[in-house]
Structures are given as structure tokens and as C-alpha cells.
Homo-oligomer: A and B are copies of this chain.
């Protein structure tokens, strides 16, 4: 067993997501590890929007989503002193993109928020579950509070 060297924070910008970021930062400090951050804009969400009647409107909305996500990512990354070249914003299937980014950048620990069991997550499993299922490295699922 070696110390963690590169921790990847899978950020979701939810109300309780800050605790996940704090845990990732804390572990990076304890292990003197590099801390990176990623956020994936779910393409199911953007595809959903594409089914709406006005394509032009939806295109703007998708771009707006990305711009908003970029803004959130920058703020969070700045707050935790994560350098520009260790920030990844993507559109896609969140679990697969998180796993891909972790592999491509040799992260040895993914830190991700984990929601309570309700709604769709109860049936389909959460992103955290999907990441755990597919990741080749360790995964820390931080239970989000006030969420059950």
C-alpha cells in the first residue's frame, strides 16, 4: 500500500458538495497528494433539452449550462487552490467521464459525493455507485448530509 499521490475530486456543485471538496482537500493535505477537480455536465440533461420544440433556444441553454458549470468549477477550484491545468469540465455520461479522466491522469483516489437512496438513484444507482463499479482506482464516497 502506498500513499495516495493524485486525488481527483468529482465535484457536483450541489448545496452539500462543499463538504466533499473539503474532504478531498483534507486528504490531499494529509497524503501530500496532488488535488485535481472535474465536473461532468450530464449529457442526458442536455439531450432532454434537445427534445424541446425550440432547438435554437435549447442550444443556448446547453451552452449556458456549460458556462454556468465552468463558473462554478472555477470558483471551487480557486477556493481550494487547484491549478488551471488540473481542472476538467466535460459533457457526457458522468460516471464514465469521471473514470476516464481518473485513468488518463493516473489518479489513485476519486472523491465523490454520494446521495441518499430515493427517486431514480434507488432504481438506477447513483453516479458514485457507477464510478465505484467502473473505476480502476480507489473511490471515497462522501455521504451528502440532509439527503435521506
CB within 8 Å of B: which residues of A? Answer: 1, 19, 22-23, 26, 30, 114, 117, 125-126, 128-129, 132-143, 148
- Secondary structure type dominating chain A contacts: mixed
Contact present for B133 and A129 (CB under 8 Å): yes
Contact present for A139 and B141 (CB under 8 Å): yes
Contact present for B133 and A143 (CB under 8 Å): no
Contact present for A117 and B133 (CB under 8 Å): yes
Leading 5 A-B pairs by shortest Cβ distance: A1-B22, A139-B141, A140-B140, A1-B19, A30-B30
Bound state CA distance, A139 and B79, in angstroms? 25
Shortest A2–chain B CB gap in Å is: 10
Taking A1-B23, A22-B1, A23-B1 as contacts, is the C-beta distance between A143 and B148 under 8 angstroms?
A: no
Bound state CA distance, A1 and B27, in angstroms? 12
Shortest A80–chain B CB gap in Å is: 12
Residues of chain B lying within 8 A (CB to CB) of residue A143: 135-139
Shortest A24–chain B CB gap in Å is: 10
Contact present for B138 and A142 (CB under 8 Å): yes
Residues of chain B lying within 8 A (CB to CB) of residue A1: 19, 22-23, 26
